[in-house]
Amino acid sequence: MLIGLWIRDVVLIEALDLSIGPGLTVLTGETGAGKSIILDALGLATGARAEAGLVRRGAAQAAASAVFAPAPDHPVWEILEEKGLSYARDEDLVLRRTLSADGRSRAFVNDQATGVGVLKEIGEALLEVHGQHETVGLLDPRTHRPLLDAFGGLGPEAAAVAQAHHAWRAARERADELRRLVERAAADTEELTLRLSEIERLDPQEGEEAALAGERALLGAAEKALSDIGAAHEAFDGLSPRLAAAVRALDRARERALSAGATEDAAAVKRLAEASAALDRVLIEAQEAEAAVDAAAASFEFEPDRLEKAEERLFDLRGLARKLAVSVEELPGLRARFAERLRAVETSEDELKAAEAELAAAARAFFAVAAQLTAARTAAGEALAAAVMAELGPLKLEKAGFRVAVESLPEDRAGPAGIDRVRFEIATNPGAPFGELGSIASGGELARFALALKAALAGRGAGPQPLMIFDEVDQGVGGAVADAVGLRLKKLAADAQVLVVTHSPQVAARADAHWRIAKAGEGERLRTAVEPLSAEPREEEIARMLAGAEITDAARAAARALMAA
């Protein structure tokens, strides 16, 4: 809802601050008083096309701000989110624009600089203009399908179609992905098979490179090591026999001493026994040491070509790793990946067949529910056409025809909204061909037709209603037709905010708020002023609209009757 309009130096308005309430607000005044300036200023603030002529003569720039209070669920917040503009859903939304005398303009949303195009997009989400030269919103065929669905209460059917389309699209993406995989894998199969056979021929093992490198280093040092071990082994040549002979000699010396009468306790006998025992221990240790040296020598004895084989193995592993642009340590893992990719080639074709079957089923499901939605839209279109036709007669458009064209789209243009193109079409006279709204209707007929359509759609759950502006919707009509216009505007204003520029007392009498637009001053000091009217001034204004220049008591009485109706 628009709650405030701030205008500075726009045409004949020097400074004006307006507070706007809900319901139906009418703007009246003499022809040329400047009623359209208010709408021009609102258009300036909401991104409409603006020319330097809007700047008041003598001023450097014109400026206008429109303050809206959208509901928390209003779609306009999503637009701000998309454009990266900060906002708070529980606060007002301020659109502002300045226009310099040289034609340059600047746009702001909540005091954040933005482009005029962004301002226009936001403005289109907040208001509709139905006037002599344009009907913003209804002229755009993109709005017709959502309006028809809202009128027919087709939200559940449309949601089912959107869900089915999502499933169809997901199935198509899955099938496309598998198809690409199969094509790519098939092209790589020969190469994968060759590389895998090369890896399997070598059969690389985890940690093999480090083990081979260590073995090669050891084998390279083995010859020198064996020479050193041989030198150590020479020290044992004849040592054991000599030690054994020494032990036997000491044992004989001990036996001679005992034979000569010495006792075991004799010092000489004891020393001989101790020496013999020590030599015996040395003999045992020498024998063990010699065995250890022999064992060490045996550990360095390899096959004659073992070093050559280790070096060849390392060369082959590292050559294959370079060829495949990996490290030797990565070869076992690469073999597993190649094998998995080859298995995927074998299984992906079966998966692709299953995915294509799912895709066909998803397509059938989508087109089935889409066809049901088409039928429902066709029926809703007939009902809407009847409702609009019922509104046209009272609005002096009884010769016009209206229809809702529901046409099937090509399969490749089906989308989450279904398979239909929906257009509202009119024919201005019996027998005339139907055509788009903008190409057929003109002037006041266009605005009244928009009013008829809005009246037919009212209360049908079309979501948050924008501010609706009707500029001289009653042009060229009076009496009962003007009264019919007023009644329908009042009906619309029960669920939405409506702003009307009118010359019709029947319309003005239905207003919840009434502004009188007038000029004041002379020459260069001529200014447009806006006066909100209370009950008595309002009665006088409606009487003026009825009587013209001279307001009579009869006109005042008629005004009171209209206001009381």
**Within a domain: residue 442?**
no
What is the full DSSP assignment across 203-220? ---TTHHHHHHHHHHHHH
**CA distances for 562 relative to 506, 511, 544, 553, 555, angstroms:** 7, 11, 13, 14, 10
d(CA 463, CA 538): 34
d(CA 478, CA 507): 10
pLDDT at 466: 80
Q: What is the DSSP letter of 473?
A: T
Residues in the chain: 565
Buried b or exposed e, range 223-260, using 16+ CB within 10 angstroms: eeebeebeeeeeeeeeeeeebeebbeebbeebeebeee
C-alpha 63: how far from chain center: 35
pLDDT at 366: 96
d(CA 176, CA 173): 5
Strand partners, 498: 24, 468
Dihedral, 200, 206, 210, 215 alpha carbons, nearest 10: -70
What is the full DSSP assignment across 503-544? --HHHHTT-SEEEEEEEES-GGG-EEEEEE--HHHHHHHHHH
d(CA 79, CA 74): 10
Whether the Cβ atoms of residue 12 and residue 59 lie closer than 8 Å to each other: no
d(CA 267, CA 40): 140
User: Which run of H or E residues covers position 67?
Assistant: strand 61-68
**Within a domain: residue 206?**
yes
**Within a domain: residue 499?**
no
pLDDT at 228: 72
Which residues, 6 or more positions from 225, have their beta carbon under 8 angstroms from its beta carbon? 300
Whether the Cβ atoms of residue 228 and residue 323 lie closer than 8 Å to each other: no
pLDDT at 270: 84
pLDDT tens-place values along the chain, 565 residues long: 899 999 999 988 889 999 999 999 999 988 777 788 888 999 999 998 888 889 998 899 999 999 999 988 898 999 999 999 998 988 999 999 999 999 899 999 999 999 999 999 999 889 988 865 555 567 778 889 988 998 999 999 999 999 999 999 999 999 998 888 777 777 777 778 888 888 888 888 888 888 888 777 776 666 667 677 777 777 777 777 888 888 788 888 878 878 877 777 788 778 888 888 888 888 888 888 878 877 876 766 655 577 778 788 888 888 888 888 888 888 888 888 888 877 777 777 788 899 999 999 999 999 999 999 999 999 999 999 999 999 888 888 888 899 999 998 998 899 999 999 999 998 888 888 888 876 665 566 777 888 888 888 876 665 567 888 888 777 767 788 888 888 889 988 888 899 998 888 999 999 999 999 988 776 667 788 888 999 889 999 999 988 877 888 898 899 999 888 7
Task: For residue 461, give the amino acid letter.
Answer: G
**Within a domain: residue 204?**
yes
**Within a domain: residue 116?**
no
**Within a domain: residue 95?**
no
Closest C-alpha among 167, 166, 169, 149 to residue 373: 149
Closest C-alpha among 4, 23, 111, 151 to residue 68: 4
Structure tokens at 46: 């909401």
What is the full DSSP assignment across 265-325? TSHHHHHHHHHHHHHHHHHHHHHHHHHHHHHHHHHT---TTHHHHHHHHHHHHHHHHHHTT
Q: Which is it for strands 105-109 and 112-114: parallel, antiparallel or unpaired?
A: antiparallel
Whether the Cβ atoms of residue 539 and residue 559 lie closer than 8 Å to each other: yes
Q: What percent of the chain has pLDDT over 70?
A: 92
pLDDT at 300: 64
d(CA 16, CA 520): 14
**Within a domain: residue 94?**
no
User: How many domains does one find in the chain?
Assistant: 1
**Within a domain: residue 336?**
yes
Structure tokens at 528: 């447009």
Closest C-alpha among 52, 47, 187 to residue 123: 47
Q: Which domain holds residue 297?
A: 181-344
Whether the Cβ atoms of residue 447 and residue 473 lie closer than 8 Å to each other: yes
